[in-house]
Structure 1
Amino acid sequence: MTHDRSLTGELARFAARLSFALDPFQRDACAALEAGHGVLVCAPTGAGKTVVGEFAVHLALASGGKCFYTTPIKALSNQKFADLVERHGRESVGLLTGDQSVNPTAPVLVMTTEVLRNMLYASSDTLRALSYVVMDEVHYLADRFRGAVWEEVILHLPQEVRLVSLSATVSNAEEFGAWMETVRGDTAVVVDENRPVPLWQHVMVGRRLFDLFDTSSSEQKIIVDEDLVRYIRQRESADRMNNWGGPRGRGGGPRRDFRPLPRPEVLAQLDEEGLLPAITFIFSRAGCDGALAQCVRSRLDLGRQDELAEVDRIIERHTGDLPRGDLEVLGYWEWREALHRGLAAHHAGMLPAFRHTVEELFVRGLVRAVFATETLALGINMPARTVVLERLVKFNGESHAELTPGEYTQLTGRAGRRGIDVEGHAVVLWQPQVDASAVAGLASTRTYPLRSSFRPGYNMSINLIDRMGAAESRELLERSFAQFQADRSVVGLVRGIERNQGQLAKLRDQLGGAGGGVLEYIALRERIAQRERQLNQQRRADRRGAAADALVALQRGDVVAIPAGRRAGLAVILEPDATPGDPRPLVLTEDKWAGRISVADFPSPAEALGRMRLPRRVDHRTARARRDLASALRSTGIAAPGRGRRTGNRADAADDRELATLRRTLRAHPAHHRPDREQLCRVGERYSRLERETESMRQQVAATTNSLARTFDRIVGLLAERGYVADGEVTADGRRLARIYTESDLLVSECLRQGIWRGLGPAELAAVVSALVYESRQEVGLIGAAGPTQPIRRALNATLAVWTALRADEAAHRLAPTREPDPGFVGTVYLWARGDGLADALLAGGEQSSPLSAGDFVRWCRQVIDLLDQIHGTADDVELAATAAKAVRAIRRGVVAVDAA
């Protein structure tokens, strides 16, 4: 290697052990770290950011201190642990991921960020002599579900600890760095936007591969390649001509049947162009599996005979401990056949052992084509020569939305392997709705802003109070990145207020000044408009109140008519809900839909049109039960009425005394009779509108300032009401809540305090607590009394009652509601924990008659294990704690125990 003589001290010693020369940004960041600064490094995927983290490890070992290396996911922690062990030896490096504890007293510890957060709250002895913390993938703090953990760690770490923050390229790195400086002290921000391997952008139209950009142009602006534009026009024109004389579409015009190039042919074309290995991103698990199946059915074979023995060795190492009887259920033989042909899928629905096998084979070049969901782009070190995007639209959980420039950059960032490829390639497959200029816009825009997702929750709040008291906790929340960003937005609002005030002064002059009568007249008109708005709001509130009361009054078996919307028609009440103000009864409609309805579905109060007999137990999650009930509902002979007029208490404007008085005063005002009244009123309307806008901005400023602290105060109020905090001190119940880390932390704590899970067997306890961690991929409601055993049904109903009461308290305190328990995994984990086979468990956990995937099964089992472990460690009831430990052992077997990383 070439030695850089300009380097000195520990950096020179560190660099001398590397097999490559440091890039300028790596050198700058490492020099700042050695000089005693914290550092924030923002650079593209594959640029080599982790070198800076490894230098922090080197500095800690050289000084006799400790370094914690944190990552967002266990797979990355395992990967980094292996890298550091290879460099520094097994005696110097440990691993803590929740599932595993390897050499926990080592000076270098690799861990997930949650583990470090929990250590900080517990004031763990392991924190002694800690000198450096590396936070890899720190941009995860924007993650909606887990992002708060990163900010908690940054805020709680002792000031003497040097923080090394490694982030993907974000467009507001300076803002993030400025915040880091306010909370961590001197922080160097090092930004590098140069990819170590240049990325070429392409569009594949049919079998032809075109460059996206015109690279021959000497102009600074980005120009789409003219050959690509011309060929697309020709292709579209030819398609129109070919289809004109053919079969007609449903509208009578020509049928536009576009058939994309089959995936095997796409891969064969890329192979011919020398662009493999490739990752094709498909935004659904089923799509990935379908693409792989399509390739396996074809004659495509990208494997090599001389590599098959090595492929089988790696497969055996990862899957050798899987129970032989489960291999058929897992589709092992078809999966292995695909790997032999150099093909694989990669998504969260796969068994972790399968997924990790694919990752290793791909990195070693033994698999040459992978169909993956976008989760692969987040963190796993699995680069390719080429990234293929079949579509530029994905489902975001609510609707199909176009990819953002940030998402496009994140996905295509996998293309180009440092030290292997001279250049990387991104290929978009053309379809008729794909606009080349829109692709160019995605590929050339570098906007990826980092937005904080930090919000105080119950566990966080109780830990803060326990560590530093309520007053200091509020101050800490006000130092968060979320509040920092909110306060910066206030600057723009204040400027807007000042600008509006100047315009208001000019308009006042046009209306005769502050002391003139016209402004008084304008104010009268505004008060009349405001009163009319109040009366309209009151009418709506009256209607909502009447609709809520009507829903509360409904009983099980009542038949109602949903008047409008997607669920319009007859429905039967399966489970009433008496929650005041916001009842959400569970219903089944005549169209076989089951779910919760609300006041929003009823512009006028619902009324029972009749009743029907229901079975004692209704499992609305099964397609057969829904079909039978819907058929019975339709056969009752009850008819949905036509739309009647709305009822409810009305606040009629014609009867309102205040409004009548205001209108009389307006007509008697001198300005009402001025000849230029209408002209003045138009100016006055602008004045009133601007005044309302300014007041709204003032309210935004007031709401934004200290917004997190106010949420914290509401949480403390609720916790005090429920006995978790008393006189500013954390109670015994509060200390238990402080050790429960789950999305439904307060609900778990309440269930433990009220003892509603006592007396359950291990499999039954696992089944009940699964409702607090599981989230169905499709919309379902809690099944109430449904469950495999009577104790499970009793405990589920009691858990639901606790949640209902908690939700009412949260509404009263204006807090976001705790997520409703979801029973979708109850039957599955019960069968598994009592010892049933994998096939039966997977079938029991399917939604809409589809079996649960092996990957989802293992993931949810591990989340249930995690919560059971917490119950084991926090429950006051000795018998319940012992049952939780037995439940953990019962679940941790077979596929759940294999490859637990």
Structure 2
Amino acid sequence: MPPSIHPVDLVAALRQKHLTPAIVFLTSRRACDEAMDSFDHADVVLPPARQDQIAAALERVIAQFPSIAEHPLIDTVKRIGVAAHHAGHLPSWKIAVEELMRQGCLDAVFATTTLAAGVDFPARTVVITQSSIRKSRDFTDLTIGEVQQIAGRAGRRGKDQVGFAIITPSPYIDLGVLTKGLTGHPEAIDSQFTITYPMVLNLLKAHPHEQIQAILAKSFAQFQLNQRAELLERKLDDIHAQLEPYGPRVCTDWITQWQTFDQARRQKSPRHQIRREEAPEVSARFHFLTPGRVVGLTRGRGIVLRQYRSKGQKNPMVTVLRPDGAVTECPATTVTDVFDRVFDCEETSTYPWCTAESFDALSHQLTELPGRLPVLPILVSKDAEPLPDAIVQSLGDFPCPTCPSRPACQKDFALASRLRQEQQRHMKSIQALRTSLWHRFQERVEVLQQFGYLTPHGQLTAEGEWARLIRIDHSLLITELIRAEAFSGADPAVLTGVMASIAHDDDRPGAFPRISTGLSSLLGQVRKLAESLSPYEDPPLLRGDVAALAERWIAEPALTWIGLCRLTTMAEGDIYRLLARTLEFLSQIHTLKATHPSLAESAAKAIALIRRGVLEELP
């Protein structure tokens, strides 16, 4: 395949073919910035009339958003008629680019795929230069939905009779991914509904405890869970039909009776038995790790080919097919997620534990899996099921040796037992799906009762009344910090630094200003408390370097936005989002004026100091 087209040549070709304005989707922010840099020495410039049109449009936008007056890309935008648009830019700059595009001033915009969703930003042409996207620190293939979102930007209503989606050559592009994206059905929408501690407090404030289960049952999340349960119920009906030929015999439950008899017959002397000590979570999960099940592992995902117990120790083990085609043996404890997705797997008794046709089909299906899969909720019994001291004292306790049904039981047991186990798995899954939201709600209630925000009867305590006003991420950590008076005497700059460290969720490295002694000491206390709360709430990153940046913005009111950006290698768009999110956290604390007036006043001072410069331009 030929190398990628140079950005200058690409824009020239689009202009020649009358395919402008165009949005060129690139893999990363850096790729967008490098594309803009390539025009610094370009010979082709716009006619003076076009340049004047762009300059006039920019003046109108700059009058509304003065912060972009010195933006380094303005000269290229005026001279060439191209711009860049990605999350590393200020919101005001992105608004300016969008406005210039709507007015027909630009011929091309280099953007990341974040532009494809959530923004009314059409063009005559979209240019797809990639089949993967950078997420966190890894590249993953574009999903069908993302490809269709990108292609959907082609064509302006009322201006173009047809839109064009162009795929440019690249040595790193996978046409199969894009073909599937353009012709396939988008992935199903998955509810992102989560039950948080503030939600529980506010629900119990507004409704009696006995009404909340019915409220949760009306959510879209429960609707999706019910759909998955209904699918399993249809499978359960099929299994029930398959079990009908193995109906009751002399024993009402002959499958259990024969299994107990067979175990007693094979049972060895007690001194040779190995006692298994397994965590309840592992035991509950192992029941669902059947051939064909898609599972999440500590590294990546895979499909279970078989389950067994290791010799000697009898630890639960699984054989897993990996995306690279490798078949690995690993303990069941390495399984992190059990997904609600099972493929047909024709088992065999020899490696690779399934037929060649099944192996090829599973390998293909594994590579075709969407990025997100619904996780199967598995209920773990709090009380471990006691093991019997001995299955039986003697075989004479069973009628099986002289029972007339014995030959039929012995012949049919293997298949009937497998169907029974599958039936039980589906029944447990259905129960978990139908009640998982309610169980999560109950778990949150128990934690809030443990920490004193709720009474044993589910009523809000005095602390629960003000804690329900903190409706942000890591709410339990923040309310516990307030109860511990960790912010007592903290000035607005230190308070802002702590809130910024809690709000920030990006571990991207960079250069930052040095942290002050007071903020460093307080962050040490916050880390200890966050670690103690980890069983109840995922701890934040609590980066001291990021906290120092927010602290500096508050501690030095004369510091300009450009000066702040020079203190770090962080992109200014990321700095803006950090401070905007910190502002949201401080606003929540400011609502505690009635119960914590001193802390609320400190938050109010911090809010006033944050909202200056760039942060005054947008609501």
TM-score by length of 2: 0.72
Cα distance between partner residues in 2 of 1:272 and 1:777: 43
Q: State how 1:365-384 maps to structure 2 within 5 Å.
A: 365-384=104-123
Query: How much has 1:314 moved relative to structure 2?
Result: 3.3
CA pair 309-273 structure 1, distance change in 2 beyond 3 A: closer
2:492–2:603 Cα contact (<8 Å) kept: yes
Q: 1:176-195 to 2 correspondence within 5 Å?
A: none
Pairing of 1:741-780 with structure 2 (within 5 A): 741-778=471-508
Q: 1:733 to 1:516 in 2, by over 3 A?
A: closer
More moved, 464-473 vs 378-387: 464-473
Distance 1:668 1:434, change over 3 A: farther
2:449 corresponds, among 693, 703, 720, to 720
Quick one: percent identity of the two aligned structures?
26
Query: Secondary structure of the equivalent of 1:394?
Result: strand
* Residues 1:522 and 2:295 are matched in the alignment: no
Q: Alpha carbons of 1:310 and 1:760: their partners in 2 closer, same or farther (altered >3 Å)?
A: farther
Aligned to 2:307: none
* Structure 1 contact 304–341 (Cα < 8 Å) conserved: no
Instruction: Determine the C-alpha separation between the residues in 1 that align with 2:276 and 2:540.
Output: 29
**Is 1:385 aligned with 2:127?**
no
The alpha carbon displacement at 1:398 in A equals 6.9
Correspondence for 2:553:
832
Report the CA distance between 1:753 and its aligned residue: 2.4
Q: Does 2:21 match 1:294? A: no
Deviation of residue 514 (structure 1)? 4.3
Residue 548 of structure 2 aligns to which amino acid in structure 1?
Answer: G
The whole-number CA distance in structure 2 between the counterparts of 1:682 and 1:392 is 53
Cα contact 1:843–1:852 (8 A) shared by 2: no
TM-aligned CA deviation for residue 427 of structure 1: 0.9
CA contact (8 A) 2:26 2:128 kept: yes
Alignment partner, residue 821 of structure 1:
542
Separation (CA, whole Å) in 1 of partners of 2:255 and 2:425: 24
Tell me, yes or no, if the aligned pair for 1:280 and 1:389 is still in contact at 8 Å: yes
Look up the match of 2:615. Answer: 896
Distance 2:603 2:429 in 1: 47
Tell me how far apart the structure 1 counterparts of residues 397 and 172 of structure 2 sit (CA, whole Å). 63
Tell me how far apart the structure 2 counterparts of residues 734 and 659 of structure 1 sit (CA, whole Å).
45
Distance 1:482 1:333, change over 3 A: closer
Question: What SS does structure 1 have at the residue aligned with 2:233?
Answer: helix
SS at match of 2:127: strand
Q: Secondary structure at the residue paired with 2:242?
A: helix
Task: Give, in angstroms, the shift of residue 716 of structure 1.
Answer: 1.6
Q: After superposition, give the CA deviation of every residue in 1:509-568 in whole Å (9 maximum; x if it has no partner).
A: 8xx764698864434557989x9xx96862789x9xxxxxxxxxxxxxxxxxxxxx99xx
Counterpart check, 1:686 vs 2:404:
no
- Aligned residue number for residue 516 of structure 2: 789
Alignment of 1:545-556 (within 5 A): none
In structure 2, relative to structure 1, the CA distance for the partners of 1:268 and 1:523 (3 Å cut) is: farther
Structure 1 distance, partners of 2:129, 2:411, is 54
How far, CA to CA, are the matches of 2:516 and 2:435 in structure 1? 49
> 1:390, CA displacement in angstroms?
0.6
In the alignment, which residue of structure 1 is the partner of 2:20? 276
2:532 alignment counterpart: 805
SS state of the match for residue 23, structure 2?
Answer: strand
CA contact (8 A) 1:345 1:371 kept: yes
**Is 1:310 the equivalent of 2:53?**
yes
**In the TM superposition, what whole-angstrom CA distance separates every residue of 1:299-331 from its partner, at most 9, and x where no partner exists?**
354x4421323322333344458788x977xxx
Give the C-alpha shift of residue 276 in structure 1. Answer: 0.8
Flag the 1:340–1:733 CA change in 2: closer, same or farther, 3 A. Answer: farther
Q: Residues 585-638 of structure 1, C-alpha deviation per residue, up to 9 Å, x if partnerless?
A: xxxxxxxxxxxxxxx99xxxxxxxxxxxxxxxxxxxxxxxxxxxxxxxxxxxxx
The 3-state SS of whatever aligns with 1:826 is helix
1:862 counterpart residue number: 580
Q: Distance in 1 between matches of 2:538 and 2:261?
A: 41
Match for residue 737 of structure 1?
A: 467
* Structure ranking higher on relative contact order (CA contacts 8 Å, 6+ apart): 2
Residue of structure 1 equivalent to 2:378: none
In 2, the alpha carbon distance for the partners of 1:685 and 1:378 equals 52
Distance 1:746 1:305, change over 3 A: same
Alignment of 1:391-790 (within 5 A): 391-397=130-136, 399-431=138-170, 439-507=178-246, 514=251, 520-524=257-261, 538=277, 683-726=412-455, 727-778=457-508, 788-790=515-517
Letter in 1 for 2:419: L
1:760 CA displacement: 1.5
Match of residue 565, structure 2, among 830, 842, 845: 842
Match of 1:268, as an amino acid?
A
> 2:3 maps to what in 1?
259
Indicate how the Cα distance of structure 1 residues 515 and 484 shifts in structure 2: closer, same or farther if over 3 A, else same.
closer
How far apart are residue 743 of structure 1 and its match?
A: 1.1
Normalised TM-score (structure 1): 0.51
Task: Give the residue type in structure 1 aligned to 2:489.
Answer: G
Query: Per the alignment, do residues 321 and 419 of structure 1 end up closer, same or farther by CA in structure 2, a change over 3 Å counting?
Result: closer
Match of 2:533, SS state, is helix
Alignment CA distance shift 1:722-1:343 (3 Å): same
Cα deviation for residue 483 of structure 1 reads: 0.8
* 1:673–1:338 distance in 2 versus 1, CA, 3 Å: farther
The secondary structure found in structure 1 opposite 2:133 is strand
SS in 2 for 1:498: helix
Give the paired residue count.
508
CA contact (8 A) 2:29 2:112 kept: yes
Change (3 A) 1:437 1:802: closer
Q: Which amino acid aligns with 2:586?
A: L
* 1:631-659 deviation digits (Å, cap 9, x = unpaired): xxxxxxxxxxxxxxxxxxxxxxxxxxx89
Counterpart in 2 of 1:352? Answer: 91
Amino acid at match of 1:842: C
Helix, strand or coil for the counterpart of 1:426? strand
Describe how 1:135-284 pairs up with structure 2 within 5 A: 258-284=2-28
Distance 2:94 2:435 in 1: 44
SS in structure 2 of the partner of residue 730 of structure 1 = coil
Measure, in 1, the Cα distance between the counterparts of 2:542 and 2:394.
57
Partners of 2:514 and 2:123 lie apart in 1 by: 47
Structure 2: which 5+ runs fail to align? 283-297, 300-332, 335-386
Contact 2:261/2:400 (8 A) holds in 1: no
8 Å Cα contact 1:278-1:388 kept in structure 2: yes
Distance 1:375 1:414 in 2: 12
Q: Is the 1:345–1:370 contact (alpha carbons within 8 Å) kept by the matching residues of 2? A: yes
Distance in 2, Cα, partners of 1:426 & 1:292: 21
Distance 1:339 1:461, change over 3 A: farther
Counterpart amino acid of 2:501?
A: A
Q: CA deviation at 1:748?
A: 1.7
Residue 451 of structure 1: how far off its partner (Å): 2.3
For residues 713 and 342 of structure 1, what CA distance do their matches in structure 2 show? 58
Give the superposition deviation at 1:444.
2.0
Mapped contact 1:386–1:415 kept (Cα < 8 A): yes
Cα 1:710/1:757, change in 2 over 3 Å: same
Name the CA shift for 1:447/1:678 in 2 (closer, same or farther; >3 Å).
farther
Deviations 1:60-80 (A, max 9, x none): xxxxxxxxxxxxxxxxxxxxx
CA distance in structure 1 between the aligned counterparts of 2:590 and 2:13, rounded to whole angstroms = 56
How far did residue 721 of structure 1 move? 2.1
Q: Which letter maps to 1:707?
A: S
Q: Which amino acid aligns with 2:550?
A: V
